[in-house]
Amino acid sequence: MNRKKVICPCYHVTKGDIADAIESGADSYKQVKKMTRAGKGCGKCKKKVKKLTKNCLQNNKR
């Protein structure tokens, strides 16, 4: 995973930031949003953040 890839340009939230939030306990888009601020601006990244959150959670379960 390219951790440096920016998912939310509004707050400069990267893939790594989202993965870290999940690593430290976030288990939903809402919590990821709270912890990273991704999606709190224009909202354009919402879909991407949701998808990434889902993927990360699934990977953690394995």
Nearest to 45 by CA among 18, 19, 17, 9: 9
Asked if 21 contacts 29 with a C-beta cutoff of 8 angstroms, the reply is: no
User: Mask: binding to ligand FES, 2-41, rule CB under 6 A, as x and -?
Assistant: ------xxx---------------------------xxxx
> Is 27 or 41 the residue whose CB approaches ligand FES more closely?
41
CB of residue 58 to ligand FES, shortest distance in Å: 22
Residues contributing to the site for ligand FES (CB under 6 A): 8-10, 38-45
